[in-house]
Amino acid sequence: MSTGEKVAGSVANYVDERTGAAKWLKKNLTKVFPDHWSFMLGEIALYSFIILLLTGTFLTFWFDPSQREVIYHGSYLPLNGIHMSAAYDSTLHISFDVRGGLLMRQIHHWAALLFMSSIVAHMLRVFFTGAFRKPREFNWIIGIGLLTLGIVEGFLGYSLPDDLLSGTGIRIAEAIIQAIPIVGSYLTFFAFGGPFPGTSFIPRIFTVHVLLLPGIFLALITVHLMLVWYQKHTQYPGPGRTEKNVIGYPLMPVYMAKAGGFFFIVFGISAFLGAVASINPIWLYGPYTPGQISAGSQPDWYMGWLDGLVRMAPPIETHAFHHTISWNILIPGVIVPGIFFTFLALYPFIESWMSNDKREHHLLDRPRNAPNRTALGAFGITFMLVTLANGGNDLIATHFSLSINQITWMSRIGILILPPLAFFVTKRLCLSLQRADRELVLHGKETGRLVRLPHGEFVEVHEPLTDAQAWTLTQHEQLPALELPEVDAHGVLRPGGLRNRFRAKVSRSNAEAIAKPKPDDLKGIEDH
Amino acid sequence: MSDKAPRLSDPGLPEHVHRKADTDPAAAKKAERQVAILFTLSALGTILFIYSYIWVKTDRFIFIPIMGDQNASQLGMGIGLTFSLLFIGMGAIHWAKSLMPDNEVAAERHEFRSEEADRADFVATVKEQGAASGLGRRSLIKRSLGLSLGLIGLSPLLLLRDLGPLPKKSLEQTSWKTGTRLVTDPSGRPIKPSDLEVGAVAQVLPELQPGQERTLENVGKDAVLLIRLRPEEFELSPERLSWTYQGIIAFSKICTHMGCAVALYEQQTKHLLCPCHQSTFDVPRAAKVIFGPAARPLPQLAITVDSEGYLVAQKPFTEPVGPSFWERSS
């Protein structure tokens, strides 16, 4: 036995005698994880969160979360002698006078964009493959919570430097709070410690940004990962993969090395972006004052959809009984996002209501085999893309010399027409792909080889699929639609007629599919 | 609900294909060397990072094609850090993929639902312990506990009350009073009508009284835009026309939609555009909204000149400036 082994052995013995950890670790160190590139999207989110904690901690050592007015005398000469808040002053100090400060600021900002992008990509993967189905509904809801908090956390983070751009964003947030009926003006006065902007919000959002939300993140991420661990990861369908097993590589050593290595790669890419790609150059914007603004004001991308919704809102306010309700703020700023995120969070339950499927699912769907879900996803993505594009309507207008009014009108019409269109097209595409799968299984792959038969006819040779390929294309279930007759066996009207009719209609749409080949179909083919 | 249709048969897991390094010691040795090279590159990256931190001056710039002038210290540290991190990651993954065991393993899953007996036991335990505590029987305890638990949530809410003062009438008032002089921002000079040519635009603020200081809260409500047109270009009601002076018209600069500064004036069309959400206001028609999400025109400030010929406010704003709020009555 080498010295290293001896030391490791005695440490392990020491710990185990006090915790009994050996049994648990023995089982879990060889825990199996399935392998697929799309399972790494959530990992990227986790790793960028760690990068955010590390770089963020560094930034707090110099950042001064205060709106105390100071006069700048740092190395960035264009702002020399300008009045500004201590927050803006210290951000300039980090950017120009702390070695590596700008690098850390930029890595922090890039990692935040990466964090949000990977959360969204991970969520789309989970959505389109049906990984949210029983027993993973809790984790889906936690994920939606993390997405929502991530948007808030990112917004608060880029608001901290108190520059002209971020202050404008805070002003807009204030207007949204102020527009809430009855309590709006009170809430803004409490949030800002008086009239906008006041001198309270930077210290307050600093505490929320560096303590409260990261704490909640840490707790939610822990539960999220524990559930993944405990419920075991889902897997893509394929030969030998069933609902009852999980095929993959053991945690130790393969996954430890791969995941650990991947963390360094994500960190390395963030560092590269921070090194070469300038982001949020606050020294160009100047300090915040409510009387000024820069043209082309844009939020970060994960807020862009919200800004785009606000930009396309119709100019409607209700003035009655000495009160005002700003629909032009409430609809795009509160109501539509509220409906969207609620629907998103409840989708696992809506789907199981449509299909009445209450079983556990560990095998993922190929998106084409769930046409209705895939089409709904396309609906949501299209909705978001239209709003996001409209969030940049001013930049589109100036870059392509277009009329901003026309772009906005295109978005207003597009938001109503394009998502349903995307739903329809995607659903047809999925069904066509199912048809193509059926063709493949029944007639094999086209080889491009033409053969001339003795009597002169030309035919193309088709190469049959392997058993493994045929299985992968046909292993999925095709659930029938719910049957919810309006009358029962005795011809009496059942209660909840309208609701049942609606549910049956939705269920029929959800169950639409091209019949997959059965063993008998294949036998018939072999004969000719 | 399940799909009972007959299926093709599952051929089972495909056979394991060995990698070259599994069978060929030379290939394994080569992979080992590659991993070592990657780790070494990472170490070199760290050395570049240390060098840039200590020996490269923070005000030194170097020219990089495409990127332009770059701060050498930041760039050196950044590229050093990138190398040190990226190559550790690549080394570890290459190691895992080429040399660590790659046999796929199957683990079994079990349904999460507990055994019937355990579930029944659980329910029985809850019922039994619940009954033992007497919560079901002793309704007085139950109700008073419910009351106190319901109320306890109020304390933390109440504690938040002192986060800020009540709004009172603050959202409806600005610093503009009858006779307040208009002064330029930021130099604070009073202006005469002759300072403003036709077509010109200027941002003004109310003149500070002695001993008064200007806060950002004031600016957020007081900022006013002056625009000078030819008097015949106005399409105003007689009252609103009397609020202008020799073609000079004054509007609140704070957008009635979400409070951004309405800063873009288009001289040709005489439109004011808010850069945040593109609400567009038509200046000759008292800043009527002609596009975008704003629902109300910018409030107009009535102006005239005082005895010395400087521009002053005739009276305060007649309506609240800035974005809407519930208590706003008009």
Segment A244-272, tens digit of pLDDT? 999 988 888 888 899 999 999 999 999 99
Whether residue A372 contacts residue A244, with contact meaning beta carbons closer than 8 Å, is answered with no
Q: Would residue A8 count as lying in a domain? A: no
Q: How far is CA B258 from CA A163, A301, B274, in A?
A: 18, 20, 10
pLDDT confidence bin for A124, thresholds 50/70/90 = very high
Percentage of residues of chain B with pLDDT beyond 90: 52
Which of B112, B276, B279 is the best mutation test for A, with the most CBs of A within 10 A? B276
Q: Is the pLDDT of residue B171 over 80?
A: yes
Q: Is the pLDDT higher at A92 or at A490?
A: A92
Q: Would residue A324 count as lying in a domain? A: no
Q: How far is the first Cα of chain A from the last one, in angstroms, to the nearest whole number?
A: 67
pLDDT, residue A123, reads 97
Nearest chain B residue (CA) to A107: B78
Phi/psi of residue B67, nearest 5 degrees? -80, -20
Cis ω on the peptide bond leading into residue A420 (within 30° of 0)? no
Whether B74 sits inside 8 A of A194 (CB atoms) is: no
Average pLDDT over every residue of B291-301: 93
Q: In this complex, is the C-beta atom of B69 within 8 Å of any C-beta atom belonging to chain A? A: no
- What is the ipTM, given to two decimal places? 0.91
Query: Which residue has tokens 């002698």?
Result: A81
Nearest chain A residue (CA) to B265: A295
Segment B127-170, tens digit of pLDDT? 888 888 777 778 888 889 889 998 998 888 899 999 999 998 88
Average pLDDT over every residue of B57-76: 88
Q: Is the pLDDT of residue A492 over 90?
A: no
Nearest chain B residue (CA) to A481: B1
List the Cα angle A451/A455/A461 in 5-degree steps.
20
Measured between CB atoms, which of A31, A324, A360 is closest to B326? A324
Q: Is the pLDDT higher at A525 or at A138?
A: A138
B106 Cα distance to chain centroid = 47
Q: In this complex, is the C-beta atom of B51 within 8 Å of any C-beta atom belonging to chain A? A: no
Phi/psi of residue B50, nearest 5 degrees? -60, -45
Query: Of the candidates B206, B110, B310, which has an alpha carbon nearest to the alpha carbon of residue A135?
Result: B110
Residue A78: burial class (beta carbons within 10 Å; 0-12, 13-18, 19+):
exposed
Q: Would residue A103 count as lying in a domain? A: yes
pLDDT confidence bin for A1, thresholds 50/70/90 = low
Q: Which residues of A fall within a CB distance of 8 Å from B201? A: none
Nearest chain B residue (CA) to A288: B216
Alpha helix ranges (H) inside A160-255:
164-178, 184-192, 201-207, 213-231
Query: Of the candidates A408, A401, A296, A290, which has an alpha carbon nearest to the alpha carbon of residue B275?
Result: A296
Whether B10 sits inside 8 A of A328 (CB atoms) is: no
To which H or E segment does residue B208 belong? Answer: none
pLDDT, residue B185, reads 82
Q: Give the integer Cα–Cα distance in Å for B206 and B196.
A: 17
Whether B95 sits inside 8 A of A185 (CB atoms) is: no
Distance from CA of B52 to the nearest CA of A (A): 9
Q: Would residue A292 count as lying in a domain? A: yes
Domain carrying residue A138: 29-300
Which of A328, A404, A521 is the best mutation test for B, with the most CBs of B within 10 A? A328
Q: Is the pLDDT of residue A528 over 60?
A: no
For chain A, the average pLDDT equals 91
pLDDT, residue A345, reads 96
pLDDT, residue A90, reads 96
Q: In this complex, is the C-beta atom of B321 within 8 Å of any C-beta atom belonging to chain A? A: no
- CB neighbours of residue B327 within 10 Å: 18
Tally of domains within chain A: 1
Q: Is the pLDDT of residue A382 over 80?
A: yes
Query: Of the candidates B215, B202, B77, which has an alpha carbon nearest to the alpha carbon of residue A289?
Result: B215
Q: Which residues of B fall within a CB distance of 8 Å from A394? A: 275, 278
Residue A290 belongs to domain with CATH number:
1.20.810.10
pLDDT, residue A415, reads 94
Segment A289-326, tens digit of pLDDT? 888 887 777 889 999 999 999 999 999 888 888 889 99
Whether B276 sits inside 8 A of A176 (CB atoms) is: no
Q: Would residue A390 count as lying in a domain? A: no
Whether residue A279 contacts residue A106, with contact meaning beta carbons closer than 8 Å, is answered with yes
List the Cα angle A178/A89/A151 in 5-degree steps.
40
pLDDT, residue A526, reads 55
Q: How far is the first Cα of chain B from the last one, in angstroms, to the nearest whole number?
A: 59
Chain B segment 117-176 residues within 8 A of A by beta carbon are: 160-161, 163-167, 170-171
Which of B103, B216, B330 is the best mutation test for A, with the most CBs of A within 10 A? B216
Q: Would residue A462 count as lying in a domain? A: no
pLDDT confidence bin for A78, thresholds 50/70/90 = very high
pLDDT, residue B1, reads 57
Average pLDDT over every residue of A27-46: 91
Chain B segment 75-104 residues within 8 A of A by beta carbon are: 75, 77-79, 81-93, 95-97, 100-102, 104
Q: Would residue A156 count as lying in a domain? A: yes
Written as six digits, the tokens of A497 are 């007629």
Q: Is the pLDDT of residue A527 over 50?
A: no
